[in-house]
Each structure stands twice: as structure tokens, then as C-alpha cells.
Structure 1
Amino acid sequence: MARSTKAAHAVNRLRERSNNAPYSMVSLADGRFSLTLANLEQLDELPVSVSDAMEMDEFVVYVNNLHKQAPKKASKLDVAFEKKIAAAKQK
């Protein structure tokens, strides 16, 4: 159960990044995971498999690489602060 929590959290983050697309995780009997995507327009259809079955760590990396988030914007003050920190580390 605890093993699948890491994979489930990765799928939840994917849903957030993809504007709540209906992604879900399938946990197989052999301990591997697969990613599926439901078709909300055809509710009577089965979800489509998006990935092959993978080990947990491989699955989490795969899911994390889907729908990458845009880099966070930094203010001028943030950039200046980072420069000060870098300069202080070099001394």
C-alpha cells in the first residue's frame, strides 16, 4: 500500500498540471503500474492505456515528465537575492 502512495501522488500532480484531465493509475498484481486516461465524452468506454506496465520508480519518472509545468516566474528581488547568496557562497 505504501509503495503505491508515491505513484498515486505523481498521478495527482499530473492531474493538476493537465487541468484535471481524467488520468488514473492501474496497479497490477505483479507490483507494476500503468497510466490510463478516461474519455469523458464516451463514459461507457474503458479508459485508454497511456503507458506500458512499469516498475514504480520508472512509472513516477514517466508521469512526472508528462505535461511539464512552466518554470516559476521570479521577481527582480528574487533574482537579486539569489545573486547575493551565490556571491556569499563563493567567499
Structure 2
Amino acid sequence: MARTTKASNAVQRLKERSKGAAYSMVSMADGRFFLTRSDGTATPERLSEPMEIDAFVSFVNSLEKQAPKKVSKLDQAFEQKLQNAKK
């Protein structure tokens, strides 16, 4: 169950990054996944070969430009202190 959730969350983030494109994942009986995209035709386009979970999530994460991570001022100050301490 957690494996499928990890994969489906990656696909959901991809949909958000791509402004709602019709991406879907297909879970196979052997535990591998592949990605499809529908353009409104009867048959969705297959975008990948079946992959293990970690390879699938990495592939999905690489498809669209990821949003920059939000960093608070406190996080920035802490990172600066760490960098200064290393010098």
C-alpha cells in the first residue's frame, strides 16, 4: 500500500507541475509501475517501460520542472551559520 501511495503522490505532483496534464500510473501485478498520458484519444500514450518503485518515482520527478522549495528566513539564517562554521 505505501509503495503505491509513494508512486501515486509522485504522479500527483507531476500533474500539478504540468498544469493538470492527464498523467496516470499503471500498477502491474509484479509490483512495477509505468506512466501514461492521455491526450483525449481512446488509447493513452505509454511514457515509460515498467519500473521498480524507486526508479519510477525518480523518472516521474524528472519530467517537469520542479517548483523551488520554500525556505524560511530562519532556515536561510541557519544555513548561513552552518556555512560560516565550516570556514
Coordinate RMSD, CA, aligned: 2.6
**Hey, what does 2:51 align to over in structure 1?**
54
Shift in Å at residue 72 of structure 1? 5.5
Q: State the structure with more CA Rg.
A: 1
Q: Which runs of 4+ in 1 moved over 3 A?
A: 70-74, 80-85
Percentage identity across paired residues of the two chains? 54
TM-score, with length taken from structure 2: 0.80
Q: Distance in 2 between matches of 1:10 and 1:72?
A: 16
How many pairs are equivalent? 86
In structure 2, give the amino acid aligned to 1:15. Answer: K
Q: Please state how far the C-alpha of 1:86 moved relative to its aligned partner.
A: 1.9
Aligned-partner residue type, residue 35 of structure 2: L
* Aligned partner letter, 2:12: N
TM-score by length of 1: 0.77
How is 1:3-18 mapped onto 2 (pairs within 5 angstroms)?
Answer: 3-18=3-18
- For structure 1, the 5+ residue unaligned runs are none
